[in-house]
Amino acid sequence: MSTTEARLLQVRNLKVWFDTPRGLVRAVDGVDLDLRAGETLGIVGESGSGKSVLSRSIMKILAPSARVLPGSEIRLKGLDLATVSPKQNKHLWGVDLSMVFQDPMTSLTPVLTVGAQLTETLRFHLGLSREQAEEEAIRLLTLVGIPEPAKRAKQYPHNLSGGMRQRVTIALAISCSPELLIADEPTTALDVTVQHQILNLLERLQADSGMGMVLITHDLGVVAGRADSIAVMYAGRIVEKAPTKQLFSNMRHPYTRALIDAIPRVSHPSHTRLASIPGRPPVLIDPPQACSFAPRCPSAQPRCLSETPVLEPTPIDPAHTSACFFPLGTPAGDAARENNIKVGVNAAGTAVNAGESTDGR
């Protein structure tokens, strides 16, 4: 089997822009991704970084104002999704490709019972009889850990807790045994205990079925032990991509470092001030030729304000790529940060904390 054939999902040079009264918003600007069957790819970044637009591009459920630029390529098992219409292939979306949305209250129909929504999907895609679909719906609700599944199947979404609603959306997403599951912030509105249960459930379902999964989140801690590889997104672009262990042991991009530093730690004393990233993500309307993270970066130099870095492999591992002129853990990167700490600001004039680590760990 060739390398191309082994890929479940292949994204190349994906560009998605939105027409707005103020101009074109470059929500996704040249993204490349690969995923094999049975693997999990974590996509991480702040709100507004382009993660959800990326996932909706793959699912072909973008808003009417969105424009997927020519040259963008999304392939599922070699099939170019750009050439396939959901109306022409009704069973591709839902059977081969499925998605768990971050808000179950907007992805479930409020006027239909949970059981009705499941049986409708099963009958449409798999051609089951009403009795077969009802039995399968109960089995799916049991599989995702919902107590008293027969009773819950007769209830409406508003009768269920947030955790149960999310389990129902997962049951819907896996009902036809998809080969690729996209989970877009599946635990955002849930408490920590339920988050853990939902992530364990997804992991178990993946192990049982062998499906590939794209796990989208703003929290690197969520994907730390659950993803085979991680892509870090910022301002519509991938700024670092690597196998998970390699990313955490040898991160190169200052934004990745900032995301990790922002994770609360149990070891911190009570009332410890949480770390944050200064400033805010940039407006993506006609962005200038520059590193988009430069205004917030403790290592930013004049070059970062006039040139756009591209993803390049690291010397240690070609599978580990980053887009930074002054990567962490390199002489140039360490010198840049140390110089900014000495003068108190980076090249963009943003204050640099003298207490920040300069060793990239």
CA angle 52, 287, 301 (to 5 degrees): 110
The string of pLDDT tens digits covering residues 38-67 is 999 999 999 889 999 999 999 999 999 999
23 membership: H or E segment, kind and range? strand 23-36
At 320 the three-state DSSP class reads: coil
Nearest to 37 by CA among 209, 206, 174, 212: 212
Q: Taking residues 96-122, what's their average pLDDT?
A: 91
Query: Parallel, antiparallel, or unpaired for β 180-184 and 97-100?
Result: parallel
Please report, as a single letter, which amino acid is at residue 212: G
The model's confidence at residue 354, banded by pLDDT at 50, 70 and 90, is: low
Q: Is the CB of residue 236 less than 8 Å from the CB of residue 284?
A: yes
Q: How far apart are CA 83 and CA 123, in angstroms?
A: 26
Element (H, E) at 114: helix 114-126
How many angstroms separate the CA atoms of 176 and 99, rounded?
12
Q: Domains in the chain, start-ordered, CATH in brackets? A: 37-57+83-233 (3.40.50.300), 251-263+289-361 (no CATH)
Percent of the chain with pLDDT over 70: 96
Length reported for the chain? 361
For residue 209, what pLDDT band results from cuts at 50, 70 and 90? confident
DSSP conformation class of 283: P
Q: Which among 207, 137, 234, 146 has a CA at the least distance from the CA of 176?
A: 137
- The string of pLDDT tens digits covering residues 2-22 is 444 478 999 999 999 999 888
Strand, helix or coil for residue 151? helix
Rounded Cα distance, 309 and 302, in Å:
13
- Kindly state the average pLDDT of the residues 123-152: 94
What average pLDDT score do residues 146-158 get? 95
* pLDDT (mean) for 273-295: 86
In this prediction, residue 197 has a pLDDT band, given cuts at 50, 70 and 90, of confident
Looking at the predicted structure, is the pLDDT value of residue 256 above 90? yes
Residue from 315, 328, 324, 311 nearest 251 by CA: 328
pLDDT at 360 over 60: no
**What integer is the mean pLDDT of 309-315?**
93
d(CA 230, CA 247): 8
**What is the structure's pLDDT at 361?**
42
The model's confidence at residue 321, banded by pLDDT at 50, 70 and 90, is very high
According to the model, what pLDDT value does residue 355 have? 56
Cβ-based burial of 46 (10 A; exposed 0-12, middle 13-18, buried ≥19):
middle
pLDDT digits (tens, 9 = 90+) for 211-254: 999 999 988 888 988 999 999 999 999 999 999 999 999 999 99
Mean per-residue pLDDT of the chain: 89
In angstroms and rounded to an integer, the radius of gyration of the C-alpha atoms of the chain is 22
Task: Kindly indicate the confidence band of residue 357, based on its pLDDT and cuts at 50, 70 and 90.
Answer: very low
- What are the tokens at 316? 């240690």
Res. 93: pLDDT tops 90: no
- The neighbour count for residue 94, using CB atoms within 10 Å, is 19
Average pLDDT over residues 110-117: 95
Q: State how far the Cα of 107 lies from the Cα of 254, in Å rounded to an integer.
A: 35
Residue scoring higher pLDDT (93 or 233): 233
